[in-house]
Amino acid sequence: MAFESSLTPENVKGLALALLSCFFIGSSFIMKKKGLKRAGALGISAGSGGHSYLLEPLWWAGMITMITGEVSNFAAYAYAPAILVTPLGAVSIIVSAGLAHVILKERLHALGLLGCIICLVGSVTMVLHAPKDRTINSVQELWELATQTDFLVYAFLVFVVVVVLIIFFVPYYGETHVIVCVTICSLVGSLTVMSVKAIGIAIKLTCEGDNQFFYPHTWLFVAVVAVCGLTQLNYLNKALDAFDTAVVSLIYYVMFTSFTILASVIMFKNWQGQAASSIISEMCGFLIILSGMTLLLATKGLGDSDSFKLGLYAAFSPSLSARLSEEVADLKSFIESSKSERSQRNCTLRPLSSM
């Protein structure tokens, strides 16, 4: 029964658009990076404050590809539930890692390849057990779902937690604790996705001949996307500026996907009427994707001869990795000094023994 529900025409359209989005977004990173390298070779690099990449066609091709991917992802929410679309964002990381290995010659660790396979297994598990999306006939219907008591309580709690974090935690802990900014992005992002889904459905209904942009509710959803999207972008940039990209990527993926699934379940009642076994399978699929992403990001940038353990430390705790490196260096210097002292003592004792 769960398998049949995942193959509804609407879910198939949403799945196709989501996968297309992952391919476009994943490949856009490669195009932009090649464009940045070309621009840096001919002028001042972007890392040094240069903007010569704006004259590089390949960089613009990457930007256009990324925008196409985002539009495709936007459209996917109009056909499939957020529980199906959001976790599939991990596929774009797999596409990016695979293309980087082939095109940019950024060597993919053997365990990283295993992580990609695990992500794909988790994605297939979630697709096979995805719930049916709720049939929506107007934006007014969406507004009624958004103003349900339980969803209003969720939105109010998100607002309170975000305000508290921004006022009391960001100024003191924003640059030392990655969880602060990422929590803000994830909570606000869950509301962004719900509004994006509402706008996507409005556009779909409008294209079918029933104009939904006459309703003020549609423009309220647009306003929520604008405010929440800018807030999300601002604090995500703060997190990326202060912390390692692999750390931010993994924590953000976990929290953003979790809160989005929660918001979708509350607003659209995705799990209502679904078998408990299918719900458990969806959660297991999400955990499998998470495990694969952890393995992939932990081994990112490592060659086959590098230590996986050191890569794991480097990905999740740069400061711990630095301390370990210092301790190893200290240990080596201690061993070398001990050897030199022993050799000096031996040289001193040898003449005495010959007497």
pLDDT tens for residues 156-184? 999 999 999 999 999 999 889 989 999 99
Tokens of 287: 């955990």
Backbone angles phi, psi at 16, to 5 degrees: -60, -45
The whole-number pLDDT of residue 168 equals 94
Q: Is residue 155 part of a domain?
A: yes
Most confident of 48-52, 245-249, 299-303: 245-249
pLDDT tens readout for residues 35-48: 878 877 777 665 55
Q: Is residue 146 part of a domain?
A: yes
Q: Using CB atoms within 10 A of its CB, is residue 232 exposed (0-12), middle (13-18) or buried (19+)?
A: buried
- Averaged confidence pLDDT in the chain: 80
The whole-number pLDDT of residue 228 equals 94
Q: Is residue 234 part of a domain?
A: yes
Backbone angles phi, psi at 164, to 5 degrees: -65, -45
The predicted model scores a pTM of 0.75
Supply the range of the domain harboring residue 217: 136-269
pLDDT class for 93, splitting at 50, 70, 90?
A: confident
- Placement of tokens 């464009």 in the chain: 35
Q: Is residue 31 part of a domain?
A: no
Separation of alpha carbons 170 and 183, rounded Å: 11
The whole-number pLDDT of residue 96 equals 82
Task: Report, as an integer, the average pLDDT of 253-277.
Answer: 88
- The residue that leads in pLDDT, 313 or 114, is 114
pLDDT tens readout for residues 1-54: 333 445 578 888 888 999 999 999 888 878 888 887 887 777 766 555 566 777
Tokens of 63: 């930007």
Q: Is residue 354 part of a domain?
A: no
Task: Report, as an integer, the average pLDDT of 200-226.
Answer: 91
Tell me the C-alpha to C-alpha distance, in Å, between residue 154 and each of 142, 160, 259, 262. Answer: 16, 10, 10, 9
Domain count, the chain: 1
- CB-side neighbour CA atoms (13 Å) of 147: 9
Q: Is residue 97 part of a domain?
A: no
Minimal CA–CA distance to 295: which of 94, 127, 22?
Answer: 94
How many Cβ atoms are within 10 Å of 89's Cβ, its own excluded?
20
The whole-number pLDDT of residue 253 equals 87
Q: Is residue 54 part of a domain?
A: no
Q: Is residue 154 part of a domain?
A: yes
Helix intervals (H) in 43-81: 57-79
